[in-house]
Amino acid sequence: MELETGQKRLHETITEQQTVINELQTTITGSKLKEVGSVYTRWGKSSCPGNGTETIYTGLVAGAHYTHTGGAANYLCLTQQPSWNKYNDEEQAGGLVYGAEYEFDLRSRSYFFGREITNEDPPCAVCRTERPTVIIIPGSRQCLDGWTMEYHGYLSSGYYGHAAATEFVCLDVDPEIISGGKSDNNGKLFYFTEVRCGSSSLCPPYVNGRELSCVVCSK
């Protein structure tokens, strides 16, 4: 009888320990899964989409001036809460950063956006999704099967005739503006991009002169 009681207690102890081990393994696995993810910038918006994606911070779009041949090409999403190392407030030679503006010259902004946004300043948001892979598909507004759309919009860049190079970014299809930011100061600029066919194999399927779309997808 005592042997049976001891075996029963031993079995209960082992079962309890196994339960604790299983719970710990589940917690560890869950923690690892939460650590997996990827980060992207949503241009033209002050927040991230509500699809399991969190907003790390809302920022101000900036970059090198459109006339500066030696400036950096990329767009920046600057934090709205800057902090500093050592500094000197005198203007000196070096890399320069300016605010950004929407341009979209020679087009009906009301047709594309439902309102006039030229010379307005764009916001940006740095987003984190738990999905580990993020891609930008230029030329499409739809994600592939099995992928989650983060946002879609217009493929944008600087103007081809300006001195400074830029990069291609995906500007949200419904871009926001920063209140009080309307002024024609230029700086880092956003323009639509469109296809030029020539004798290349782009057309078809692309159409000469048509504004390009883009989509940001995750999986």
Q: What is the pLDDT of residues 149-158, one digit of tens each?
A: 999 999 999 9
Q: What is the pLDDT of residues 59-108, one digit of tens each?
A: 999 999 999 999 899 999 999 999 999 999 999 989 999 999 999 876 77
Q: What is the pLDDT of residues 127-183, one digit of tens each?
A: 999 999 999 999 999 999 999 999 999 999 999 999 999 999 999 999 999 987 567
Query: What are the DSSP E strand ranges found in the chain?
Result: 38-43, 53-63, 76-79, 98-102, 123-129, 134-138, 148-157, 169-172, 188-192, 213-218
Mean of per-residue pLDDT scores for the chain: 87
Asked if residue 2 has pLDDT above 60, the reply is: no
Q: Give the pLDDT confidence score for residue 40 in this predicted structure.
A: 98
Exposed / middle / buried, residue 80 (Cβ in 10 Å: 0-12, 13-18, 19+): exposed
Q: Give the pLDDT confidence score for residue 5 in this predicted structure.
A: 59
Residue 69 to residue 172: CA distance in whole angstroms:
27
Residue 184 to residue 194: CA distance in whole angstroms:
24
Q: Which tokens belong to 135?
A: 């891609």
DSSP for 115-178, please give it.
S--TTPPPEEEEEEESSS-EEEEET-SSPPTTPEEEEEEEEEE--TTSSS----EEEESS----
Residue 51 to residue 110: CA distance in whole angstroms:
29
